[in-house]
Amino acid sequence: MAAQQAAPGQAEPRHGLRIFLIWLVLALAADLVIWFVWAPHMPPGDMTDSARHQQFDIAVLSVTGAPVILAVWVYFAYALIVWRRRPGDEEDGPPIDGHTGISLGWIIGTTVIVLAAFVFGTVELVVPAGAGAGEGPAPIWKISGITTTAWTPGTKDILQVQVIGQEWWWIYRYPQFGGFESTQLYLPKDTPVEFHVTSLDVIHSFWPYRLGVKADANPGVDNVAYTKPEQLGPFVVRCNELCGIWHGAMYNAGNVVTQAAFQKWATSVQAKEQQDGLIAALPPYALTYDPTVIPQLGKDLVKVTGITGGNGYYYSGPQAGTPGPPVSP
Amino acid sequence: MVLAREEARWWLVSVPVRVATLLVAFLAVVAGTVFMVVHFLLGAGGPATVDFTSAASGGQVNVVLQEDAQNSVSSRPDWVSYFVQDPQTKQWVHTTLFKVPANTRVNMTILGYDGCTPLRNNFFSQVEGTIGNTVSLQQFKDTGKPLGPARNYSVVNAWSHCNVGHTFAIPQLRVFVPVASPNAQLSANSLCGDSPCTSGPYSLEKFSFMTPKSGGEFRWQCFVPCGGGFLDGNGGPMQTIGFMTGFMTVAS
């Protein structure tokens, strides 16, 4: 064993120093490669502030974790090579005694690492307004900006977007633009965005991966998440909660555009849906989008026996763009 | 010790029996695998695919569907269901799988025999993705007489006049079409009871859309929660191919 490795009259090599030096070189090389080569390509990218923070978090954790992993691997490899059993070596290994310094160093070192990770994680959760995660109906960490009923480009207005999951598609509602809805998620660059995520049926999960946002869509719940797009370009919104036969196909496209382009798109869709009568046919803006909202619309209701949907209720209108009133047979 | 080993041999079986057992187990696994592949993956025994590719001409193809409140042709007679009309025989096929050519204008006709159900999200009352973003709609009495002339609509409001029975949507192509129901009062009194329906009040809806330039499989579905008896109406026919969801195969 180790004590018998040195030739007679020769001093035992300083194994600890050897291991430390090998580890130091490898750890330094690994951290430099991780930070400068790998980190810029780490998920989820840097399209938004929350995504950028997540990418930074993963990079920091990787740089922190690589030396720890290498310490284990280097020690393991060194032991396998240097302290392996030689032919004819039948002696037992040396007794292992406690070492106060090593024990103390281990406890202090791991404590420092864990506490540092706790502080770092907390800061990275608070600073980017919840780190893009759903914070529930009463968010603690809110994004910086002004909450208004009408969004204006070039200001610090927060854009509100209601995300509505339904088997099996996402619909987006823009309450600051008359409450129009769209199958496409358009967002303006350099604008704080406040998502209100909800579901009309089962549990879904709103996951625009490149935006660094992920929030569960629960029926009857307003789950708020924040982000701020910092780059132009397309992204994909997926469902990340197994929700039925077409869960895998529940994805659609989004796009971060300039504030002027967003304003133009939003006003044009709003105008079209207003002209078609769709906005008038939608329920009043509500954060949870109650599926039983029909009786709450304040319109004159009609009930027909034999119709199960909406408990047999519908309203008699008139509404723009609909077929004529019920006709007697 | 020798005696103990010999005494313990009473439960041992001969080599041929062991080989035979192994062979039977192996064949059972193979048979199970083949059944799974053929039945579930290759679709043997599942809904048929109605092929419209040979019926296309001049860059257009006509596809006819009907949706009924129930069906008389499956083990789930109480499930609401779509049917596809075979372009050659004109027979109704109980399926939601159909094949159309790529880069072709699909002229879709849907006969709506099922009564209305208000949409959960009335956004799907809007017509989207069709040519002109409209549908042509006409409602008929059970006598076959129209309730009025055919008109084009960009919105068929599901919450007003109880106008919508189901929807036809191909989300990946951003085609979303509310399928009108027959007149609410008429359908409440004399809904078609034997499918595929040939009588009873109905709506006749026509619209067109373009298939993509390249081929592929595109799922389509209904967005009305019409799975009666299931949680929030989302189970059963809503999640079963051959009833209210299926595939449009685009052949390149």
Give the pLDDT confidence of A13-52 residue by residue, as tens digits: 899 999 999 999 999 999 999 999 999 999 999 999 999 9
Q: Which two tokens stand for residue B7?
A: 């005494």
For residue range A64-84, list pLDDT tens digits in order: 999 999 999 999 999 999 988
Integer-rounded Cα radius of gyration of chain A: 30
Asked whether residue A306 is assigned to any structural domain, the reply reads yes
**Cα–Cα distance measured from residue A192 to residue A291, given in angstroms and rounded to the nearest whole number:** 29
Which is more confidently placed, B3 or A149? A149
Residue in A315, A323, A325 closest to B137 by CB: A323
CB-based contact A228:A190 (threshold 8 Å) = yes
CB contact under 8 A, A310 and B159: yes
**Cα–Cα distance measured from residue B95 to residue B67, given in angstroms and rounded to the nearest whole number:** 11
Distances, alpha carbon B241 to alpha carbons A119, B91, B117, B122, B208, in Å: 51, 19, 21, 24, 23
Asked whether residue A143 is assigned to any structural domain, the reply reads no
- Are residue A109 and residue A168 in the same domain, yes or no? no
pLDDT value of residue A292: 59
Q: Which two tokens stand for residue A13?
A: 């090599």
Look at the block and give the residue holding tokens 């099996």: A168
Domain that holds residue A236: 159-281
Half-sphere exposure of A16 (CA within 13 A, CB side): 1
Closest Cα in chain A, distance from residue B74 (Å): 20
Which is more confidently placed, B126 or A312? B126
Asked whether residue A208 is assigned to any structural domain, the reply reads yes
Q: Return phi, psi of residue A15, to 5°.
A: -60, -40
CB contact under 8 A, B155 and A167: no
Look at the block and give the residue holding tokens 């307004």: A129
**Cα–Cα distance measured from residue B137 to residue B134, given in angstroms and rounded to the nearest whole number:** 9
Query: In this model, does residue A319 exceed pLDDT 50?
Result: no
Residues in chain A within 8 Å Cβ distance of B123 = 171, 181, 278, 282
- Are residue A115 and residue A220 in the same domain, yes or no? no
Query: In this model, does residue A308 exceed pLDDT 60?
Result: no
**Cα–Cα distance measured from residue A171 to residue A169, given in angstroms and rounded to the nearest whole number:** 7
From edge to edge, which strands make up the β-sheet containing B164-170?
Answer: B49-51, B97-101, B245-251, B216-221, B164-170, B175-180
pLDDT value of residue A47: 95
Please give the DSSP secondary-structure letter assigned to residue B128: B
Asked whether residue A299 is assigned to any structural domain, the reply reads yes
- Are residue A78 and residue A182 in the same domain, yes or no? no
By CA distance, what is B115's nearest residue in A?
A: A307
Question: Which residues are within 8 A (CB) of A106 and not within 5 positions of it... i.e. 6 or more apart?
Answer: none
Asked whether residue A94 is assigned to any structural domain, the reply reads no
Q: Which two tokens stand for residue B25?
A: 């187990």
Closest Cα in chain A, distance from residue B91 (Å): 29
pLDDT value of residue A321: 42
- Are residue A199 and residue A109 in the same domain, yes or no? no
Residues in chain A within 8 Å Cβ distance of B158 = 281
Residues in chain B within 8 Å Cβ distance of A164 = 121
In this structure, of A103-107, A156-160, B153-157, B185-189, the range with the lowest mean pLDDT score is B185-189
pTM for this model (two decimals): 0.82
Look at the block and give the residue holding tokens 């603690």: A140
- Are residue A219 and residue A307 in the same domain, yes or no? no
Q: Quick one: pLDDT band at residue A267, thresholds 50, 70, 90?
A: very high
Residue in A291, A326, A328 closest to B120 by CB: A291
Closest Cα in chain A, distance from residue B52 (Å): 25
- Are residue A72 and residue A18 in the same domain, yes or no? yes
| Number of C-beta neighbours around residue A152 at 10 A | 12
Share of chain A above pLDDT 70, in %: 85
- Are residue A53 and residue A72 in the same domain, yes or no? yes
Q: Quick one: pLDDT band at residue A181, thresholds 50, 70, 90?
A: very high
Q: List the CATH number of the domain containing A211.
A: 2.60.40.420
Asked whether residue A145 is assigned to any structural domain, the reply reads no
CB contact under 8 A, A322 and B163: yes
- What's the number of domains chain A is made of? 3
Residues in chain A within 8 Å Cβ distance of B169 = 169
By CA distance, what is B140's nearest residue in A?
A: A329
- Closest by CA to A325, choosing from B246, B5, B162, is B162
pLDDT by position in tens, chain B (length 252): 455 555 556 667 888 998 999 999 999 999 999 988 877 776 656 789 999 999 999 999 999 999 988 888 888 888 989 999 999 999 999 999 999 999 999 999 999 988 877 788 888 989 999 999 999 998 888 888 888 888 898 888 777 777 788 999 999 999 999 998 887 666 666 777 788 888 888 889 999 999 999 999 999 999 888 887 787 777 889 889 999 999 999 998
Q: Is the preceding omega at residue B237 within 30 degrees of 0, hence cis?
A: no
- Are residue A172 and residue A80 in the same domain, yes or no? no
Query: In this model, does residue A299 exceed pLDDT 60?
Result: no
Residue in B123, B158, B162 closest to A304 by CB: B162
- Are residue A16 and residue A123 in the same domain, yes or no? yes
Asked whether residue A225 is assigned to any structural domain, the reply reads yes
Question: Which residues are within 8 A (CB) of A7 and not within 5 positions of it... i.e. 6 or more apart?
Answer: none
Residue in A281, A291, A307 closest to B160 by CB: A281
Residue in A246, A307, A327 closest to B116 by CB: A307
**Cα–Cα distance measured from residue A223 to residue B229, given in angstroms and rounded to the nearest whole number:** 29
Please give the DSSP secondary-structure letter assigned to residue B160: B
- Are residue A276 and residue A299 in the same domain, yes or no? no
| Residues A192, A196, A202, A203, CA torsion sign | positive
Residues in chain B within 8 Å Cβ distance of A249 = 171-172, 219
Asked whether residue A173 is assigned to any structural domain, the reply reads yes
- Are residue A295 and residue A274 in the same domain, yes or no? no
Closest Cα in chain A, distance from residue B182 (Å): 10
- Are residue A28 and residue A119 in the same domain, yes or no? yes
pLDDT value of residue A290: 64
By CA distance, what is B171's nearest residue in A?
A: A169
Q: Which two tokens stand for residue A44?
A: 């989820």
The mean of the pLDDT values for chain A is 87
